[in-house]
Amino acid sequence: MCGLRTVPSHTTLRTAQRYRLGVGKSPTQGRYLWTFRFGAGGRIVVQMALDDWDWRLPRDNQDLAWDCAACSTAWAMRTVGFEVSEHDVIAGLGPSRISPTYGLLDASGAGLVSYLAEQGISAENNSAASFEQVMAAAGHQPMVIGGRSWCHWVAVRIGSALVPGAPEDTLLLMNPAPGYMGIDQVLDRYGFETLGSFSAVWFTAW
C-alpha cells in the first residue's frame, strides 16, 4: 500500500534515483531523496526518508467542527512546501466534496485524491487500510487517515517502528482536534481497531 513504490525490473539504480516520487531533486543536485533495495523479482523498491518532508511541522487545530479532513490535508501539503490553509482546501474541494453538514462527503478519501491532483500532487487512497499498512507507511510520506466510527480525519507523522524506545504499535499524529473521542496525538492498535474502519490517503509525487 503506502510508502513503497516499485520501479520496473529493468530499471538501473541510476535511473531509479531519478524516478520522481518526492520533491524532485536530482542526483546532480547532490542529494538522493530515497533509499533503495531490491525486492521480489529484482524490482527496486523506492522509499522516502524522514528528512524528505517536514513531519515535525507544528500541529494546526481545525477552525471548524466539520473540516478535520481539510485541516489535516492542508497540514500535509504544507509539510512539502504548499502554503495552503484549511480554508483554501475547503474552497478547492467545493460543495461536491465537503460540506458543513457532513464534512468530507466520500469516506474513501477519493475526493482528497482528486483535489490533490488538481494542485499538482499525486496521491493514492485505500478505503480499507489496515493498521499494519498504515504503520508500515507512517513517516515515509505525508499521509492522512480517517476513521468511520471516529468520524474524524488526522494526519500521520511517524510510526513507532521508526522511533527507538517508543511504545510498540503506536502512530504519532497531527490530530487537529486534540482529545476528540479520547485521542490526543497518539493512536495505538486498539484505538485504530475501535475507531475504524479507516481510509488512508498518501502522497506519491509533488
Average pLDDT over residues 132-149: 95
* CA-to-CA dists, residue 176 to 63, 95, 105, 204, angstroms: 9, 21, 19, 23
Neighbouring C-beta atoms of residue 143, cutoff 10 Å: 25
Pair (115, 193) in one structural domain: yes
Mean pLDDT of the region 170-183: 98
Tell me: do 40 and 135 sit in the same domain: no
CA 17 to chain CA centroid, nearest Å: 22
* Greatest Cα-to-Cα distance within the chain, rounded to the nearest angstrom: 51
Same-domain check for residues 114 and 173: yes
Mean pLDDT of 187-204: 97
Residues 10 and 77 reside in one and the same domain: no
Q: Is 55 contained in some domain?
A: no
Averaged pLDDT, 138-160: 96
Pair (178, 83) in one structural domain: yes
- 2-39: pLDDT as tens digits: 333 333 333 333 333 333 333 333 222 222 233 333 34
Predicted TM-score (pTM) of the model is: 0.79
Percent of the chain with pLDDT over 90: 70
Do 121 and 80 fall into the same domain?
A: yes
Note the pLDDT of residue 55: 95
Pick the more confident residue, 10 or 157.
Answer: 157
- The SS3 of residue 200 is strand
Instruction: Tell how strand 44-48 and strand 186-188 pair up.
Output: unpaired
Calculated CA dihedral for residues 154, 157, 161, 162, nearest 10 degrees: 180
Looking at the fold, whether 11 and 72 belong to one and the same domain comes out as: no
Q: Write down the residue that cell numbers 518532508 correspond to.
A: 53
- 23 vs 102: CA distance, rounded Å: 33
Answer yes or no: do 72 and 158 share one domain.
yes
Instruction: Identify the band that residue 166 occupies on the pLDDT scale cut at 50, 70 and 90.
Output: confident
Task: List the domain range (segments joined by +) for residue 45.
Answer: 5-49
pLDDT tens per residue across span 51-72: 789 999 999 999 999 999 999 9
- Tell me the per-residue pLDDT of 96-121, one tens digit each, with 9 for 90 and over: 999 999 999 999 999 999 999 999 99
**Does residue 167 carry a pLDDT above 80?**
yes
At 45, phi and psi to the nearest 5? -95, 125
Look at residue 192 and tell me if it is in a domain: yes
109, 1 in Cβ contact below 8 A? no
Judge if 82 and 14 occupy the same domain: no
Whether residue 13 is found in the same domain as residue 83: no
Q: What confidence category does residue 47 fall into, taking pLDDT thresholds of 50, 70 and 90? A: low
- As for how many domains the chain has, the answer is 2
Residue 84 has pLDDT above 70, yes or no: yes
